């Protein structure tokens, strides 16, 4: 089968949430089909870093569009009914190159932002992989930002939700990362076939280490640090939870691991016991060395890869309800949830003090990943979606 796969970020290397899912989709489809990947990149460095994606597909079509140009397009969309987020990814050059590609048996789009590129393929059935509903994330931003940003996010969220509803009716099938996203989708579309394809973990890469020696009373947070939900979450933890912990555990330490830390995040390194690493080539040593990982997010859609990876490697995790919402795992058996700063601190102390609890969380977390969150299982669902789409 000849498949066109369109995604908003060049999905290689698969080192962040918006790249991991489409990469594994493409890699799997390439085993049985001819896959042409279409994407955008902001810089030549991004294009060069994505060169090896060609090993996993038939052809890669990439168009460069710089960040300043994108923002000009996005701001131009403010007074219109068109979502600015769509305009941010709008490239006439890329659209022209797609027109020249010929016919395809199916078109798969990851992320609604680039769905307009698929509409030129009139004869090919569209599979819309929303992953997470981006309008839902913007509605959450509206709650956490001050005016006028709160108004801007709410305005964009409503425009994007209308577009998601419209494009979903053009699709033959829609897919999502979690039942939560599926249920929210059902509020505005109860007709188009839909299915959950969970994110997975490469359990060979994130291998459970039974005999690893971890640093006592140490915490780790992993995530891109120029991403607002991660910034907001880790700052909330340092302001509200860490002081409680320090009263009980004066030697507690926190390592914040992730690319492009903002100025505010970098300043957290001034707090005693906190280290901010910036970009690291491999997060696994940091996960293995920590007593536990934290996911203190209050803006969280879909499946948090940071939680899946920690569980796969055997590092116990304490998360907020919002961060854990997409992970169908038994609380107290696979992970711990802290609803308030006091509760979050209490759960951390439990793991520090109870070696048996840490061991149980480590073993149960790994087993849960193996049973429910491998890419092999998710790709079996993707194959079903293809068959159902082509069979009408």
CATH numbers and ranges of domains, the chain? 2-200+374-390 (3.40.50.2000), 218-372 (3.40.50.2000)
Could you tell me if 295 and 306 are in contact, meaning their C-beta atoms sit under 8 angstroms apart?
yes
Local confidence band at 333 (pLDDT 50, 70, 90 cut-offs): confident
Handedness of CA 230, 242, 139, 373 (dihedral sign): positive
Residues 6+ apart with CB under 8 A from 84: 74, 75, 77, 78, 156, 159
Q: Residue 208: what pLDDT?
A: 84
- What's the average model confidence in pLDDT over 227-255? 96
In terms of phi and psi (left: phi > 0; alpha: psi -120 to 50; beta: otherwise), the region of 269 is alpha
- What's the average model confidence in pLDDT over 304-324? 95
- What's the average model confidence in pLDDT over 62-85? 95
How far, in Å, CA of 245 to CA of 249, rounded? 6
- Residue 331: pLDDT over 90: no
Paired residues of 254 in beta bridges: 219, 274
Residues 6+ apart with CB under 8 A from 83: 77, 156, 159, 160, 163
Local confidence band at 157 (pLDDT 50, 70, 90 cut-offs): very high
**Percentage of residues in the chain having pLDDT higher than 90:** 90
- Residue 330: pLDDT over 80: no
Lowest mean pLDDT among 77-81, 197-201, 325-329: 325-329
Where does 89-212 have alpha helices with state H?
Answer: 92-99, 134-144, 149-170, 179-185
Where does the chain have alpha helices with state H?
Answer: 17-30, 44-49, 67-76, 84-88, 92-99, 134-144, 149-170, 179-185, 228-236, 242-248, 263-267, 284-289, 305-313, 321-324, 341-353, 355-372, 375-390
Residues 6+ apart with CB under 8 A from 373: 198, 199, 200, 201, 303, 308, 312
- What's the average model confidence in pLDDT over 34-61? 97
Paired residues of 174 in beta bridges: 128, 194
Q: Residue 392: what pLDDT?
A: 73
Local confidence band at 121 (pLDDT 50, 70, 90 cut-offs): confident
Q: Residue 251: what pLDDT?
A: 93
Q: Record the pTM.
A: 0.93
Local confidence band at 210 (pLDDT 50, 70, 90 cut-offs): low
How far, in Å, CA of 193 to CA of 120, rounded? 22
How far, in Å, CA of 33 to CA of 57, rounded? 9
How far, in Å, CA of 71 to CA of 151, rounded? 18
Q: Residue 98: what pLDDT?
A: 94
- What's the average model confidence in pLDDT over 178-196? 95
């Amino acid at each position: 089968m000849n498949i066109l796969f369109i995604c908003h970020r060049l999905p290689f290397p698969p080192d962040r949430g918006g790249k991991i899912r489409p990469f594994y989709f493409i890699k799997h489809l390439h085993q049985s089909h001819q896959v042409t990947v279409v994407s955008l990149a902001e810089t030549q460095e991004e294009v060069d870093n994505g060169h090896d994606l060609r090993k996993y597909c038939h052809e890669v079509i990439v168009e460069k569009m710089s960040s300043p140009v994108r923002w000009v397009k996005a701001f131009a969309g403010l007074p219109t009914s068109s979502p600015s987020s769509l305009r941010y990814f709008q490239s006439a050059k890329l659209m022209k190159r797609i027109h020249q590609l010929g016919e395809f048996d199916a078109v798969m789009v990851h992320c609604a932002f680039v769905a307009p590129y698929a509409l030129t393929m009139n004869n090919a059935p569209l599979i819309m992989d929303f992953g997470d509903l981006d309008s839902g994330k913007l509605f959450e931003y509206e709650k956490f930002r001050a005016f006028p940003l709160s108004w801007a996010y709410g305005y964009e969220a409503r425009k994007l939700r209308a577009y998601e509803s419209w494009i979903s009716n053009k699709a033959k099938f829609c897919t999502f990362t979690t039942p939560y996203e599926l249920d929210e989708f059902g509020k505005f579309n109860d007709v188009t076939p839909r299915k959950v394809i969970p994110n997975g973990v490469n359990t060979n890469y994130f291998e459970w280490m039974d005999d690893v020696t971890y640093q006592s009373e140490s915490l780790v947070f992993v995530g891109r640090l120029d991403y607002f939900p991660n910034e907001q979450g880790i700052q909330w933890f340092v302001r509200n939870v860490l002081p409680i912990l320090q009263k009980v555990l004066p030697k507690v330490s926190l390592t914040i691991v992730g690319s492009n830390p903002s100025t505010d995040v970098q300043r957290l390194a001034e707090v005693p016991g906190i280290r901010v690493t910036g970009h690291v080539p491999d997060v696994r040593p940091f996960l293995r060395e920590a007593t536990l990982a934290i996911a203190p997010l209050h803006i969280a859609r879909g499946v948090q890869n940071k939680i899946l990876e920690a569980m796969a490697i055997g590092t116990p995790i304490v998360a907020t309800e919002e961060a854990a919402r997409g992970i169908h795992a038994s609380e107290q058996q696979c992970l711990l949830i802290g609803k308030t700063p006091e509760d979050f601190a209490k759960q951390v102390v439990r793991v520090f003090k109870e070696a048996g609890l840490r061991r149980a969380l480590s073993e149960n977390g790994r087993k849960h990943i193996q049973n429910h969150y491998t890419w092999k299982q998710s790709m079996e669902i993707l194959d079903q979606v293809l068959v159902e789409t082509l069979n009408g």
